[in-house]
Structure 1
């Protein structure tokens, strides 16, 4: 688990380095907010389509080889993304070609990096018992949260040199992460390789209600993430460099909250998955509502903190509940479905968030996210999700 934690931390660090610089970089290249949203959507589309495939394949080929493919694909795609952006900043490419090539790089990255999360979730299921499954899945969230702490700070610092330096840093870090996995991370001893990939449908009643809740949690969060740098810049009247610094600081605080919740509270108290869902979703919704009325850096950061607290409880709860709802031979398959549902949220979230931001109001994405979480909370409290059987005492 410690080695897997380091692997996922390195992966999230490489991704979150880019959070403060994507919006100002896009504006330097002449791209619109909606075009930036399609980058995330393209990436998530491939994850939505292929995460179930990679999850099932990890049951046959093993967890480690599939993790390696995901990390290396991430690295190659980011090198390509940075190279195209560099040509664009130098004036060697027109805006239309810049957009098309960057979009292609994101499609390639999504194709291969979609292997990472479902394989990691199946890995956790291999090395934890049912009683520790929720705490084990929280390790994934803690690794991501720790990445969010350091990544934006590194990205904001490197942006002072150039907006492209963080992108090259992320691609290089992924190469070192692949070497770490190759030499250090063992194949789980409990994992039994199957002769053919197992099958598990999205419509299976054991998993469908939880997948719907997970989709809502993911979509609402990503709609915020895609627009938050624009919102900081426009709400506070910041320069591109000032935006990178402000968003970087706010996301560091956001990450600290996520790490504390997932790396300490959940592992210490071992709360039941459904209980975490019932409390985490409304907390995140309150965070979104504060975004709507926030007028300064402190209030915007508070909104991020509450959203991170709620997300920190809800996301691992969905993952753990899904893992516990099926048998050991379906862990890769259910992890793939979970990753696919989250990817659908990451695909629709940027489109919804950027379209609402650009065409309705700057506050519209956060009103939308709060409303979506309210519906999800009602579904958890009184809908089918509340009746899903989970073999963990909850």
Structure 2
């Protein structure tokens, strides 16, 4: 047996402080960049005369690519190492963001327009997604390698705070930077990510899977009975969330009669509120919770039902913000619980594969949610959150009927 195939008899009880902050740097840069995209893409699409469906389908189609690529990158991290996979993902995100912004710059100048602009933007966003899909599986598997099962939920919840902080900071920065031009936030996001690439490459220890590549990594399926409830809960949650999130900018702009820059600022504020509650629940509940992960998933789904109801019935900005607050609370419970539950349900040499599948689930939700949300919005502004509520209710019923997955013994 090669040194790469051997696994240590016991995992460190906790991820080291230095490694934690390095991983946080990468996740935070990625999250800020994504928050920029979500805040400015609706007004940016209208700026270059793309329809609501065209704009949201860019997110949906690239999310489909992300869904297929993320499990592959997770298995690759089992073979070639977590660190190199994280670096590849961050580099792809930085380079792809610059190209994506460049495409829209050509659109704003009239060099590209109509369907040519749409398909060009779609192509480069999908190419970016295929590479940036490496980051989260690599980070999640690295954290799982270096934390014992007793601390797995707390460790992954702590890492989840990076995404929440990114979504809190991102909209604020996007609103400020958008005053210098709608594309300026994207260039700043690329710079942040390149700094993260250097930090990870220079300072993150190689980890346990850094030797000779394995011949074959375990291949897990979306239908794996050990993971099914977590995967379905994640896909359902993010299908509903994306339908609301990706039409939020349109609804705010139409209801308040705002300009493109003002829409980015108001949408960013609503997303910031959501992220604040995500962070609050991660810090106050998820990091202190020691029971079955599935119970946190169920509680989060109930929060999301309230969220969909408030957004559907909202008559102004206040109702939308209350709904996004409930949505954030639900995600704060569901995200860490799903990652931890899946990690605890599989063996040590399946961690990369499980992390890849879990990372693919939010993207899978963004395949259908945004484009269907955009189509429903054109019929009635309340239809996207109603659709989200129906999806969430169905997933909650399944989660309530599912049993808690037995924790596999430590390898």
User: For this structure pair, what is the TM-score category when the shorter chain's length is used for normalisation?
Assistant: over 0.9
Q: Is 1:294–2:311 an aligned residue pair?
A: no
Q: For residues 1-394 of structure 1, what are the structure 2 equivalents within 5 Å?
A: 1-189=20-208, 194-358=214-378, 360-382=379-401, 385-390=402-407
Q: Is the 8 A contact 2:37 2:186 kept in 1?
A: yes
Distance 2:282 2:364 in 1: 23
Distance 1:389 1:36 in 2: 42
Give the alignment's TM-score, normalised by structure 2: 0.91
Distance 1:154 1:194 in 2: 42
Q: Is the 8 A contact 1:126 1:191 kept in 2?
A: no
Worse-superposed segment, 9-18 or 189-198: 189-198
Distance 1:64 1:378 in 2: 39
Q: Is the 8 A contact 1:279 1:310 kept in 2?
A: yes
Q: Is the 8 A contact 1:18 1:152 kept in 2?
A: no
Q: CA deviation at 1:388?
A: 3.0
Q: Is the 8 A contact 1:134 1:272 kept in 2?
A: no
Q: Is the 8 A contact 1:141 1:258 kept in 2?
A: no
Q: Is the 8 A contact 2:280 2:329 kept in 1?
A: no
Match of 2:10 in 1: none
Q: Is the 8 A contact 1:379 1:386 kept in 2?
A: no
Distance 1:26 1:314 in 2: 31
Q: CA deviation at 1:191?
A: 7.3
Q: Is the 8 A contact 1:233 1:239 kept in 2?
A: yes
Q: CA deviation at 1:125?
A: 0.8
Distance 2:407 2:395 in 1: 19
Q: CA deviation at 1:40?
A: 0.7
Give the alignment's Cα RMSD to 1 decimal: 1.7
Give the alignment's TM-score, normalised by structure 1: 0.94
Distance 1:94 1:146 in 2: 35
SS in structure 2 at match of 1:17: helix
Q: Is the 8 A contact 1:14 1:170 kept in 2?
A: yes
Q: CA deviation at 1:271?
A: 4.7
Q: CA deviation at 1:331?
A: 0.2
Q: CA deviation at 1:268?
A: 2.9
Q: Is the 8 A contact 1:217 1:315 kept in 2?
A: no
Q: CA deviation at 1:69?
A: 0.8
1:191/1:274 CA distance change after superposition, 3 Å: farther
Q: How many residues align?
A: 389
Q: CA deviation at 1:47?
A: 1.2
**Deviations along 1:16-67, whole A, 9 cap, x unmatched?**
1232211111101000110111111121111111111100000111001001
SS in structure 2 at match of 1:141: helix
- Give ranges in structure 1 of 5+ residues lacking alignment: none
